[in-house]
Amino acid sequence: MKALPSAPTQATQAGPVPKPAAADDDFDLLAPAPTLDAEARAKAEETTRALERRRWMLQMHQVAGFVNLAAMTTAVVLGQLNLSDKYGGGGDTGKFITPHAIAAYPSAAIFTGTGLLALFAPSPIDKPARLDSATLHKTAMAIATAGMIGEVVLGIITASQEGKLSQRDLALVHQINGYVTLGATATGFTVLFF
């Protein structure tokens, strides 16, 4: 006996399965962009240019920050070696006076340039004040700026007191201020880098 063919099921039927009627699939999740008049378009373009300039300046600020931290660390290390040579039993040979000065003045210049890049970067968008890493960076760098100004002044005054008893006390203040300034700079660097 021959087997009768079975009736076709949905799975074996030829042709596509019809899709149920649905609403229009073409829709936007966002509202249409408003049309800008010439003045608003010009303002938007200026804001975009200012943001691009800010981005570039802050990227240069970051690169300069690495150089700044290295220069400051070098100046502090050479300053410590100079202080140890003069007052710490090193024989007062004076061999670190020039290297410290060669490191210190460029360090102050790099610090200033790095700060000016951030200070003059345009800020076309208002940002509400809040406690975040940028605020901590700015606070640490404000402390470091005061310290750097103090370092330059104290360094010049301390060097001018050669042979006087007050030089040792001034050198100690200069040393402590140098470490505080380096610490504030490293803190400002760290809160943004990590």
Break the chain into its structural domains and give their ranges.
43-124+131-193
pLDDT grade for 25, boundaries at 50, 70 and 90: low
Q: What is the mean pLDDT of the chain?
A: 89
- Per-residue confidence (pLDDT) for residue 161, from 0 to 100: 94
Tokens of 98: 């020039």
pLDDT grade for 21, boundaries at 50, 70 and 90: low
Tokens of 97: 């006076």
Give the whole-angstrom CA distance, residue 183 versus residue 46.
39
- Per-residue confidence (pLDDT) for residue 7, from 0 to 100: 55
Tokens of 84: 């140890």
- Per-residue confidence (pLDDT) for residue 68, from 0 to 100: 97
* 11 pLDDT above the threshold of 70: no
- Per-residue confidence (pLDDT) for residue 40, from 0 to 100: 86
Give the whole-angstrom CA distance, residue 71 versus residue 76.
9
Give the whole-angstrom CA distance, residue 166 versus residue 90.
19
How much is the pTM? Answer: 0.76
* 13 pLDDT above the threshold of 80: no
Query: How buried is residue 60: exposed, middle or buried, by Cβ count under 10 Å (0-12/13-18/19+)?
Result: middle
User: Quick check: 121 and 53 in contact, CB under 8 A?
Assistant: yes
Give the whole-angstrom CA distance, residue 93 versus residue 82.
9
More confident residue, 65 or 15: 65
Q: How far is CA 91 from the centre of its chain?
A: 41
pLDDT grade for 95, boundaries at 50, 70 and 90: very high
If you average pLDDT over residues 129-155, what whole number do you get?
A: 96
If you average pLDDT over residues 108-120, what whole number do you get?
A: 97
